Structure 1
Amino acid sequence: MSTDGTACSPRPWPQVPACYGWLSLDRRGRWRLQGEPVTHRGLLAFLNQHYASEEDGAWFVQNGPQRVFVRLDYTPFVLRMGADGGLLTHTEAAAGPASAVHVDDEGSVLIATAAGIGLLDDRELPAFVDECRGADGAAAEIEAVLACAGVSWRGLPLQPIGRAEVAARYGFRADPQP
């Protein structure tokens, strides 16, 4: 309400152009601004809180009226294993249950979760491999994990995938352009 008792109508956001090419997400889930790592805690919290996607799979950070589109070094999420064994996204949110596990042609592990597709942080690979099991229930050898040869992780079979097909299969745009 204004001081004279009449209702105030909200001011519309100013028209500002979207921003491209400034913000990126690397393979370890680190934000980068013009290639430089973001280290300021407040800015990191802001980026994590305002990270979202458009229907066409372009990921962005909403900065007031402006969308700052994010170039992804691989997937929209980078996953880590939490202390309780659950998966966390690089934004520190629970990723939810896994529905598929892939090993790409470069040996990277990708996990489809309720939050979306995520690259497993490479620092988590030893723990991931320790949880992989062969068809007989025994610990899987690394060669079998990389080949997706009858290996499962937490009951989900490892499936091969080509890196070039990940974005199309999981519906995201790695490098949004105007």
Structure 2
Amino acid sequence: MMSTPNPAAIARWPDVPACYDWLSLDRRGLWRLQGEPVAHPGLIRFLNNSYGSDGAGNWLVHNGPQRVFVMLDYTPWVFRLDPDGGLGTHTGIAASAPDAAYLDEEGSVLLHTAAGIGLLDDRDLAAFLAACQRGDGSPADDTALLDVMEGGAGVFWHGLPLQSIARDEVPARFGFRPRPTP
């Protein structure tokens, strides 16, 4: 997904500097301005609708002609499990079915969809883990999940093998920059 600026705004203000270190996305998909949660529904809607990538691994929001780069607490997307079993993004759009599922060394779940890589909101972790099974169809217990965290295999979520991944490898592997810089 590309965030595109308003061409009329750029024509009117061609030299507006980019903004860094003001806007961030936390692990639950909540926007923060200088560390403080954004609570205004209109601003949240604007940020959600204007969020995208620049094709160079940076995630940003276009505010007219200004590019406001987003610091990511983990991944560019935060996914939430819908009650009907679907998956949605922190911006409120439906996500495609995941094609890969990962468990990092901290116990965080990451899902890869057509939109890209995203962290599963921790409030949905219990439901996710309850749906995990061993290869024989039995529920995956703590031992099986710990084995995956240490590089093992044999746990599945909705037919997808749960794979081990190191948190520090995620940005390079999936092509995003968690801390954009000028």
Q: Distance in 2 between matches of 1:13 and 1:72?
A: 30
**What's 2:171 paired with?**
167
Q: What is the 5 A alignment of 1:132-151?
A: 132-148=132-148, 149-151=153-155
Q: Distance in 1 between matches of 2:110 and 2:146?
A: 12
**What's 1:34 paired with?**
34
Which shifted more, 135-144 or 64-73?
A: 135-144
Which shifted more, 137-146 or 77-86?
A: 137-146
C-alpha distance after superposition, 1:66-85 (max 9, x if no partner): 01000000000111001221
C-alpha distance after superposition, 1:125-173 (max 9, x if no partner): 1100111010110111123123223000010001001001000000000
Count of aligned residue pairs for this structure pair = 169
SS at match of 1:98: coil
TM value normalised by structure 1: 0.92
Q: State yes or no: 1:154 paired with 2:158.
A: yes
**What's 1:3 paired with?**
none
C-alpha distance after superposition, 1:23-42 (max 9, x if no partner): 00001111000000000000
SS at match of 1:39: coil
- What code does the residue aligned with 1:54 have? D
The structure that has the greater radius of gyration is 1
Contact kept in structure 2, 1:129 and 1:142, CA below 8 Å: no
Q: What is the 5 A alignment of 1:2-151?
A: 12-14=11-13, 15-148=15-148, 149-151=153-155
C-alpha deviation, 1:95, in angstroms: 1.4
Q: Distance in 2 between matches of 1:68 and 1:146?
A: 39
C-alpha deviation, 1:115, in angstroms: 1.2
C-alpha deviation, 1:18, in angstroms: 0.4
Q: Distance in 1 between matches of 2:58 and 2:12?
A: 22
Q: Distance in 2 between matches of 1:166 and 1:50?
A: 24
Contact kept in structure 2, 1:132 and 1:139, CA below 8 Å: yes
